[in-house]
Amino acid sequence: MTTTPIIAFNNVCKTFGTNQVLNGISFKVNQGEDVVILGRSGSGKSVAVKCIVGLIEVDKGEIVVFGTDVTQLNYKALNKIRTRIGFLFQNGALYDSMSVRQNLAFTLKHHTKGLSESEVEQQIMEALGNVGLKNAIDLMPSALSGGMKKRIGLARTLISKPEIILYDEPTTGLDTITSREISDLILDIQKKYKTTSIIITHDLSCAKKTGNRIMILKDGVIHCEGSYTELENSKDEWVKSFFL
């Protein structure tokens, strides 16, 4: 693993009304890392990752991705950066009116122009193979379980071959076994594609399994960071409360 920062937050602030969610947050993610961000509900975890892809505009500070401050980019330049980033939303965010095949094809054709139908089909099958759901290719989202929707959402994220993947609560709403399977998939994807990932979660089992490094967000800043074991054994009473 290199120590080249691929994502860097520098004094980033974001306020909604009178609620200051991000209060000068600063951190770095190195190339090839899986970094977990923990925090209480409403602490700004999801806001932080949405700022990376410009879904939420910051009030102040820099977010440097691939060496470029994305907060200063125009729409066209930001979209170019977005093609290198995959975002797995909490609910999978599949198009309900499209089959699994159509969902993946739509994303692939949007990111990669000029592909033949056979090339599209090949890449769809590869993406579904990565998540173990080739047999779901012609199902509609309404026919998928919660775990299957997460997997298909992940396949759709992978099909554009992103260098960075942002996971927003990847195991929320899933049973223990399915959550473990999703965590295993996150690890498999990092190893296979050498991706860099930020994983937003409150699931300690997911954090322990997937995080090369774990950060805990409090009062809009990174309160502490370290390995799972280091944080679990912290003398900080507030940090200890996460692991009770």
**pLDDT single digits (tens) 93-143:** 788 899 999 999 988 887 777 788 888 899 999 999 988 899 999 999 999
Predicted confidence (pLDDT) per residue in 17-73, tens digit: 999 999 999 999 999 999 999 988 888 899 999 999 999 999 999 999 999 999 999
Cβ atoms of 170 and 150 within 8 Å: the answer is yes
Residue at 219: amino acid letter? D
Q: Report pLDDT digits (tens) over 133-166.
A: 999 999 999 999 888 888 898 888 888 889 999 9
Quote the pLDDT of residue 3.
65
pLDDT attached to residue 135: 92
Cα separation, 58 vs 63, in Å, equals 9
pLDDT digits (tens, 9 = 90+) for 183-233: 999 999 899 889 999 999 988 999 999 999 999 999 999 999 999 999 999
Give the separation between CA 20 and CA 57, rounded to whole angstroms: 14
Q: What is the pTM of this model?
A: 0.90
Mean pLDDT of 169-192: 89
Q: How confident is the model at residue 1 (pLDDT cuts 50, 70, 90)?
A: very low
- With a cut of 50, say whether residue 92 has pLDDT above it: yes
Q: What is the DSSP letter of 98?
A: S
Terminal-to-terminal C-alpha distance of the chain: 32
d(CA 217, CA 124): 37
